[in-house]
Amino acid sequence: MAKTLDYVCTACGARHAKWSGRCDSCGAWNTIQEEKPLSSGPGGKTLGAVRGTPLTLVDLATAETPPPRTSSGIAELDRVLGGGLVPASAILVGGDPGIGKSTLLLQAAASFARGGLDAVYVSGEEASAQVRMRAQRLGLADAPVRLAAATNLRDILTTLEAEKPDIAIIDSVQTMWSDQVDSAPGSVAQVRAAAHELTSFAKRNNMAVVLVGHVTKEGQIAGPRVVEHMVDTVLYFEGERGHQFRILRAVKNRFGPADEIGVFEMTGGGLSEVANPSALFLSDREDPAPGSAVFAGIEGTRPVLCEFQALVAPTPHSQPRRSTVGWDGGRLAMILAVLESRCGIPFAGLDVYLNVAGGLRISDPAADLAVACALLSAREDAALPPQAVVFGEISLSGALRPAGQTENRLKEAQKLGFTSAIVPARSKTGPGTDLTLRPHADLAALVGDMFGA
């Protein structure tokens, strides 16, 4: 008989046959816990059909046309959802505690309710009176949202069954507990059971459900990753402490593009939408200084300009420091290696710090060239040409590869007053942009042209 896997990582949900200090799957320490099996199997009916009767795609297509999406009334949220809320879908909103998840979802619930949907907001963390106070502070007290403070899954499902709302917000899934499961609230088994019950209820009853999940640092409480596979859409709410703006990022979406972002600003009156993020991210930029490069990136479907800042300084340590904020450390090591071995520019004995200004996190591969330019500019103590944007991918050979959506990047740069672009050779540009292009076939040629090395 196959061995049962009784240990589970509370950070990523991976199952293990035995306990260990570190999860092989996600690398987190001290997150593996023993899991008790469910005392009863998962119940529920099958979707839209008599149990066990398969349907053909053609039958399904004639039976139902795709229902229209409902706008949340918050354009940045609609964008991340792929154009609005899909009925009967399950959405997970993850994020650090205090980042603004409850604020965003209360605003969304109010907006849906004002738009005519029947919205229920279930808080397992705050009393109804506290939620109402928050709503008052946000100017939403008159919105017809129904509030409930509950944590027992059976109570919640009974209420939802009776009320039949169009959308239910569960804040947070980690506070919910099922009396069917023999473990403490917040454990992987409880969080999974709650997410499973709520999403299958939502599918059966044509209700959309939004699950809030706190990203947890310690291993006692399961994180939102353990339920990612059960829902249709996974959104993460990100932001740096000390910065006002917040980014809602779609990391999985069965009904729209993943990687789409929505940008918000946390104000005294709640979250407000930021329609032009490039202007915001570049707002406190000073005159071009050595070490600074403006990257014309694409986040999801929209171009976003931001600034990479690099600092290169002699190290007092035997092992030089490599530190990045907002970008992948492994990718930085790769760019440094390419600069050393393909362009003959050593970084040994130098500490390297790289930062994306404003707290944005960049994953667009076209940022390679902007990072290389910021590093070179810092190392050579020479500013890049003023009013220039940079983008392009760097391969291990040092060759520069054109980035996708070059035209959109250039248009956004032009809109914000930039006049030239440092790009890979053969970048495809369309009509309609007057930026001066500075194309280079490989990194060594760029170094020769711009830094005279």
Window contacting Mg ion (CB under 5 A); options: 6-14, 97-105, 107-115, 274-282 = 97-105
Only segment of 113-121, 133-141, 294-302, 372-380 that touches ligand TYD (CB under 6 A): 133-141
| Member of 79, 134, 331, 409 binding ligand TYD (CB under 6 A) | 134
Helix spans in 118-225 (H) = 128-137, 153-163, 188-204
Q: How far is the CB of 220 from ligand TYD (least distance, A)?
A: 17
Q: Which stretch binds Mg ion (CB under 5 A): 39-47, 101-109, 158-166, 280-288?
A: 101-109
Binding mask 163-192 for Mg ion (x = CB under 5 A): ------------------------------
Has 328 been labeled as part of a binding site?
no
CB nearer to ligand TYD: give 105 or 443: 105
Distances (CA, A) of 439 to 305, 339, 340, 424, 425: 19, 18, 21, 5, 5
13 marked as binding residue: no
Q: Measured from the CB of residue 237, what is the shortest distance to ligand TYD in angstroms?
A: 7
Is 439 assigned a ligand-binding role in the annotation? Answer: no
CB under 5 to 8 A by kind: which of Mg ion, ligand TYD, none does 186 bind? Answer: none
Q: Evaluate whether 103 touches 270 at the Cβ level (below 8 Å).
A: yes
Rg over alpha carbons for the chain, rounded to the nearest Å, is: 25
Binding mask 86-105 for ligand TYD (x = CB under 6 A): ---------x-xxxxxxx--
Measured from the CB atom, the residue of 97 and 116 that comes closer to ligand TYD is 97
Q: Which does 359 bind (CB under 5 to 8 A by kind): ligand TYD, Mg ion, none?
A: none
Count residues contacting ligand TYD (CB under 6 A)? 15
C-alpha distances (whole Å) from 338 to each of 314, 382, 396, 410 are: 20, 20, 6, 26
The four Cα atoms 154, 167, 65, 50 give a dihedral, to 10 degrees, of: 0
| Residues in region 191-220 near Mg ion by CB under 5 A | none
Residue numbers 234-293 binding ligand TYD by CB under 6 A:
266, 268-270
Question: Which residues 6+ apart lie within 8 Å of 425 measured at CB?
Answer: 400, 402, 439, 440, 441
- Does 100 show up as a binding residue in the annotation? yes
CB of 123 to Mg ion, least distance (A): 8
99 is in an annotated binding site: yes
Cβ 287 to ligand TYD, closest distance in Å?
32
Within 10 Å of residue 385's Cβ, how many Cβ atoms? 13
134's contact among ligand TYD, Mg ion, none, with CB below 5 to 8 A by partner kind, is ligand TYD
| Residue 102 is assigned to a ligand binding site | yes
CA dist 413 and 415 (Å) reads: 5
CA dihedral 151, 214, 302, 393 (to 10 degrees): -150
What b/e string do you get for 46-70 counting C-beta neighbours within 10 Å, with b at 16 or more? eeeeeeeeeeeeeeeeeeeeeeebb
String of contacts with Mg ion for each residue 57-96, x by CB under 5 A: ----------------------------------------
The binder of 266, among Mg ion, ligand TYD, none, by C-beta within 5 to 8 A per type, is ligand TYD
Among 10, 89, 102, 151, binds Mg ion (CB under 5 A): 102
- Alpha-carbon dihedral of residues 119, 120, 125, 128, nearest 10 degrees? 110
CA distances from 78 to 17, 82, 309 (A): 42, 6, 32
What does residue 355 show for φ and ψ, rounded to 5 degrees? -145, 135
How is residue 206 written in tokens?
A: 């044509």
Residues that bind Mg ion (CB under 5 A): 102
Which positions lie near ligand TYD, rule CB under 6 A? 95, 97-103, 134, 137-138, 266, 268-270
Q: Which residues are annotated as a binding site for ATP?
A: 95-102
Question: Per the annotation, where are the binding residues?
Answer: 95-102
